[in-house]
Amino acid sequence: MTEASEKKSGPQVGETVVHAVPGDTPVDLEAAFRDSQVQEVLDKLDRELVGLKPVKTRIREIASLLLVDRLRRQLGLTTETPTLHMSFTGNPGTGKTTVALRMAEILHRLGYVRQGHLVAVTRDDLVGQYIGHTAPKTKEVLKRAMGGVLFIDEAYYLYRPENERDYGQEAIEILLQIMENNRDDLVVILAGYKDKMDRFFLSNPGMRSRIAHHLDFPDYSGEELMAIASLMLAQIQYRFSPEAEKAFGDYIRRRMVMPHFANARSIRNALDRARLRQANRLFAHARDRLTKNDLMNLEPEDIVASRVFSDGVPDEQEPGAGAK
């Protein structure tokens, strides 16, 4: 190990280093957990994100590891900074970016990173067009991300084997070095489709070996998508009328099997369009006698006016879906 295996630098919240503590000294894991206020973030994660059970479990495991690590350090036991670089794989709209944001917050609360911000980038932010441009670009991004999480979306595009003089390789090499040497102050999350990521790791074993956690984000089921829709509406104080809820269930079943379906993202887009139709409906028919309920309720006609019902196609090419 390099210097990364040394003790973390800088003061840790609530840390008191006690040397030569007897082995039967009691330590309060519960109190450490409370102090970290991580439960809050974990609860929020449970409340605000539907499904994703394996992902949530892994996040809890990582939180436990970091807490135990902190207690060990308080008692003067050797602690080797755990590697926390991760890969998040899954189809569009399965929650990768959202979970990465929460992860940054958790890592910050547990004192693993100083700031807990997330810097989200793609190949174009790291790789230059001309010789000599890539290193400064990559280093600038790393500087911004230091103390937080660097989220590289569609990370596999950094590697273009078909192009012999591709500058992506240069960015990868700089990343590898920083991921090893600065792993106590920067967590890198590589995100993208699973099959492409697997291929990327096969050609870049150095990268693979630095990733400690591979989290897979499965597609949501119809029921989960419905729950996500209700949650999204509740957050903005809208709701389905009972009939509209049925219509939206039908919408989901049809939309799921069409091209460019992007899981929760498609649901959000569909709800935005339903709100637009609701507004038009209210404006056209009931301007002078509206109630609070009218303003909150989505009705079946706000749903079934979609082209998904009339033409059997998505309403529009949804950004972020397909095309990749």
Residue entry with tokens 């919408």: 251
Q: What are phi and psi of 286, to 5 degrees?
A: -135, 30
**How many whole angstroms separate alpha carbon 236 and alpha carbon 198?**
38
Report the residue number, 97 or 182, with the smaller CB distance to Mg ion: 97
Q: Smallest distance, Å, CB 189 to Mg ion?
A: 11
Please say whether the beta carbons of 311 and 254 come within 8 A: no
Instruction: By CB under 5 A, name the binding residues for Mg ion.
Output: 97
**Binding partner at 72 among Mg ion, ligand ATP, none, C-beta below 5 to 8 Å by kind:** none
Q: Smallest distance, Å, CB 218 to ligand ATP?
A: 10
Q: Smallest distance, Å, CB 96 to Mg ion?
A: 5
**How many whole angstroms separate alpha carbon 156 and alpha carbon 163?**
14
Interface size with ligand ATP, residues (CB under 6 A): 19
Judged by CB under 6 A, the residue of 51, 111, 168, 218 near ligand ATP is: 51
- Looking only at residues 123 through 152 of this chain, which bind ligand ATP when binding is defined by CB under 6 A? none
Please say whether the beta carbons of 187 and 112 come within 8 A: yes
Report the residue number, 114 or 268, with the smaller CB distance to ligand ATP: 268
Please say whether the beta carbons of 99 and 49 come within 8 A: yes
**How many whole angstroms separate alpha carbon 140 and alpha carbon 126?**
9
Report the residue number, 14 or 322, with the smaller CB distance to ligand ATP: 322
Could you tell me the two tokens for 149? 């999480």
Q: Which stretch binds ligand ATP (CB under 6 A): 2-10, 46-54, 279-287, 302-310?
A: 46-54
Q: What are phi and psi of 88, to 5 degrees?
A: -115, 110
97 contacts ligand ATP (rule: CB under 6 A): yes
Report the residue number, 212 or 231, with the smaller CB distance to ligand ATP: 231
94 contacts ligand ATP (rule: CB under 6 A): yes
**How many whole angstroms separate alpha carbon 204 and alpha carbon 84?**
18
Judged by CB under 6 A, the residue of 58, 70, 85, 96 near ligand ATP is: 96
Report the residue number, 52 or 211, with the smaller CB distance to ligand ATP: 52
**Binding partner at 51 among ligand ATP, Mg ion, none, C-beta below 5 to 8 Å by kind:** ligand ATP
52 contacts ligand ATP (rule: CB under 6 A): yes
Q: Smallest distance, Å, CB 51 to ligand ATP?
A: 5
Q: In this structure, how many other beta carbons lie within 10 angstroms of the beta carbon of residue 244?
A: 22
Q: Which residues bind ligand ATP (CB under 6 A)?
A: 49-52, 90, 92-98, 228, 231, 262, 264-265, 268, 320
